[in-house]
């Protein structure tokens, strides 16, 4: 994970959210994590605390926190958070709470509540999509009641309810339950493990979570000096040893897709972590328990073997075994320190195949290809959906949180988009797992490796998308002679530079005016995602007399009801700054862009930014979708019932692929603009007219139009 905000310790806030003299134990790992977590969250926080050690932190009427605190029973903290969140939203709807003063709602519990009695309440909150943070400080026991065994207690540990006896000399034999995986299966927007020993990793994850709406869940490794029988001064060292031995993986999951954010360069043996803790002393005194130590070590080895897709290059030795010795292979569906073996479960390959075929229908996809090149650190997915109308065209998206499902949905959108635009192409898409802001030399190496991997996939023509550009396409073209969106120096039409997609959005808006109740001149515009699409859409619409009142990017939102100078804002973005660096406007949170009144609201960022839980906040009359699948189906239905007109993505934002097709077939830039104007105007008018006539959603009318063209083409094709 490349850190965007927290690049050095100096970037962590010096404001102290926790006052001195708190009643928690000296060296408490939970309090260390909470302090850093609160620093990264900033002000305006409401904590909902489930009964745990941390309940002692705020004992009425005293609290060391500079935030609000609500105490609940162990089982129901997320339910309490729902009530707080609902109350805040009601105040916002009544204009009694300005969006910029909204509060972040945080559930704070120990692992006992998270893993056991409070699990049901948390799973329900995740299922509802509650917009909240959840911080579980995991001290691997019921610490405040005498250090009893919890579902987080690791294999081999001694607790007050699992003492060391002649009949039970090995400590806990149950192994910890994998809370990360239990939560991950519901695909919350953000989930991460953290450690106070890695403050930059922790702080960056809080920032990354803040970019998402919905449940944001954290599990903090939290050494407990009295329960673990360690010196309070050792807490951070013990926490660091847990990570460097591989026992506590630092990772995140965005919508269910897992990435490890720290991989030790040289894994230490697990006994470097175990032998400093009194709860594991029986493994070393009066004699070494080789079997239990080896079991713990092997479990860690197996986890990382699975996580990295191959055996560790330098796996830590088992107790009594020299480095380089053979490791016994045993399939474990678990995380470090899990004891149970569950071989009846399907293996990773079987689960992957099940997920792939879940996407299939009568239109496609004809191919889903997973690419892995460990030498070049390439992990990618290519989806070729349908080629009945011709070879598939689709962009390459690079991000750390992409997924196979996202690639398929985007490929299907390209099938619909190319068909709706009546282009001689099918739909495809590829995603590369990686940070698009990585070092340029590393990015070139990665892109060229991807190009070589798809050399023989002749039915797929790659183009630029989020995280890639014309330079990337030039590298691909140099490798395999097949790409669109090339630099003009080698025959391309620079679609991002000229604003092909933004031009198409303008055309769709103009075509939609006869179905709207407002005039284009003077219409207020809000752009969510002021990037290569959003900035040109604002520019082209501004030429028609609209007024940009708000824009957002990954750093925040800028708002000025009197209007924003589009040219100045574009220049600011082109210089590498963010929209909140614009001087003449109010700086708001990223999410505040949803709440701003306007006539035209343009989503131009990621999928699913508007969904059932936030669609009620949108106050606009027309939505030309600049991003691909930016709204969920339910959100579009709700807006349709409210009378808001939504122009579907594959109709409104087809300018880029139309330009790419013109380039691929040898056309010029002027021909591209003319074709974009003609096709998008005609398609928008046809779709909206059919939707009005049939009483259906515009998306349904668009799908019917596009699918009918694909099905007719399929009659003449074997594909």
Q: Which residues are catalytic?
A: 429
Q: How many helices (H) and strands (E) does the chain have?
A: 23, 20
Partners of 558 in beta bridges? 551, 587
Angle between helices 500-512 and 669-694 in degrees, nearest 10: 40
What stretches of 460-500 adopt beta strand conformation (E)? 460-464
Say if CB 537 and CB 502 are below 8 A apart: yes
What stretches of 161-299 adopt beta strand conformation (E)? 190-195, 215-221, 250-254, 257-262
DSSP string covering 594-655: GG---SEEEE-SSTT-B-TTTGGG---SEEE--SSS-B-HHHHHHHHHHT-EEE-HHHHTTH
Partners of 495 in beta bridges? none
Q: What are the structure tokens assigned to 440, written together?
A: 């340029």
Distance between CA 22 and CA 61 in Å, rounded?
13
Say if CB 536 and CB 502 are below 8 A apart: yes
678: Cβ–Cβ under 8 A, 6 or more apart, which residues?
none
Q: What are the structure tokens assigned to 621, written together?
A: 């009359």
Angle between helices 655-664 and 404-420 in degrees, nearest 10: 70
Phi, psi (5° rounding) for residue 85?
A: -65, -40
CA-nearest of 179, 205, 181, 204 to 192 is 205
Say if CB 218 and CB 192 are below 8 A apart: yes
């Amino acid at each position: 994970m490349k850190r965007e905000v927290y690049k050095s310790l100096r970037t962590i806030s010096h404001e102290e959210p926790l006052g001195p003299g708190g009643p928690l134990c000296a060296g408490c790992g939970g309090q260390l994590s909470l302090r850093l977590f609160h620093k990264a969250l900033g002000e305006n926080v409401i904590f909902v605390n489930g009964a745990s050690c941390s309940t002692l932190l705020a004992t009425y009427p005293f609290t060391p926190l500079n935030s609000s605190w609500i105490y609940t029973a162990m089982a129901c903290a997320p339910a309490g958070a729902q009530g707080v969140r609902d109350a805040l939203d009601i105040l916002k709807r009544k204009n009694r709470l300005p969006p910029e003063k909204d509060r972040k709602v945080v559930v704070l519990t120990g692992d006992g509540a998270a893993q056991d009695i409070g699990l049901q309440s948390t799973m329900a909150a995740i299922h509802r999509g509650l917009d909240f943070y959840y911080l579980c400080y995991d001290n691997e026991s019921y610490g405040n009641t005498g250090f009893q065994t919890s579902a987080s207690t690791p294999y081999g540990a001694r607790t007050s309810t699992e003492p060391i006896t002649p009949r039970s000399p090995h400590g806990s034999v149950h192994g910890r339950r994998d809370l990360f995986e239990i939560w991950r299966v519901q695909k919350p927007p953000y989930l991460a493990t953290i450690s106070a020993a890695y403050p930059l990793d922790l702080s960056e994850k809080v920032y990354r979570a803040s970019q998402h709406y919905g449940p944001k869940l954290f599990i903090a490794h939290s050494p407990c000096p009295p329960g673990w029988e360690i010196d309070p001064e050792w807490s951070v060292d013990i926490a660091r040893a847990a990570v460097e031995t591989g026992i506590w993986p630092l990772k995140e999951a965005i919508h269910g897709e897992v990435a490890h954010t720290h991989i030790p360069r040289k894994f230490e043996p697990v006994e470097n972590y175990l032998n400093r803790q009194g709860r594991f002393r029986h493994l070393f005194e009066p004699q070494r328990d080789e079997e239990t130590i080896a079991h713990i070590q092997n479990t860690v080895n197996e986890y990382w073997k699975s996580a990295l897709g191959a055996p560790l290059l330098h796996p830590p030795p088992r107790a009594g075994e020299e480095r380089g010795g053979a490791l016994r292979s045993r399939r474990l569906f678990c995380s470090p320190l899990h004891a149970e073996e569950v071989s009846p479960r399907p293996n990773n390959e079987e689960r992957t195949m099940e997920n792939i075929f879940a996407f299939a229908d009568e239109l496609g996809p004809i191919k889903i290809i997973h690419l892995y090149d460990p030498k070049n650190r390439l992990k990618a997915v290519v989806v070729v959906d349908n080629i009945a109308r011709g070879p598939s065209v689709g962009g390459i998206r690079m991000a750390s949180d992409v997924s196979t499902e996202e690639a398929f949905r985007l490929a299907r959108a390209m099938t619909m988009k190319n068909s709706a635009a009546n282009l001689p192409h099918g739909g495809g898409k590829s995603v590369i797992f990686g940070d698009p802001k990585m070092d340029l030399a590393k990015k070139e190496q990665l892109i060229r490796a991807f190009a070589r991997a798809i050399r023989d996939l002749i039915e797929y023509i790659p183009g630029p998308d989020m995280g890639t550009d014309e330079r990337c396409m030039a590298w691909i073209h140099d490798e395999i002679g097949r790409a669109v969106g090339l630099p003009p120096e080698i025959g391309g039409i620079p679609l991002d530079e000229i604003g092909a997609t933004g031009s198409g959005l303008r055309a769709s808006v103009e075509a939609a005016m006869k179905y709207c109740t407002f005039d284009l001149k003077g219409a207020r515009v809000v752009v969510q995602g002021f990037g290569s699409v959003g900035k040109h859409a604002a520019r082209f619409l501004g030429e028609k007399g609209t007024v940009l009142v708000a824009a957002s990017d990954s750093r925040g939102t800028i708002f000025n009801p009197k209007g924003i100078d589009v040219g100045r804002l574009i220049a600011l973005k082109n210089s590498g700054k963010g929209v909140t660096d614009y001087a003449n406007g109010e700086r708001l949170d990223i999410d505040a862009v949803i709440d701003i009144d306007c006539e035209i609201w343009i989503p131009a960022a990621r999928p699913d930014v508007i969904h059932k839980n936030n669609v009620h906040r949108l106050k606009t009359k027309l939505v030309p979708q600049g991003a691909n699948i930016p709204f969920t189906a339910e959100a579009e239905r709700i807006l349709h019932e409210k009378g808001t007109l939504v122009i579907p993505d594959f109709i409104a934002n087809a300018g880029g692929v139309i330009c790419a097709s013109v380039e691929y077939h040898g056309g010029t830039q002027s021909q591209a603009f003319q074709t974009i104007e003609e096709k998008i105007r005609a398609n928008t008018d046809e779709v909206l007219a059919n939707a009005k006539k049939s009483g259906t959603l515009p998306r349904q009318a668009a799908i019917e139009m596009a699918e009918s063209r694909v099905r007719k083409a399929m009659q003449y094709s074997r594909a």
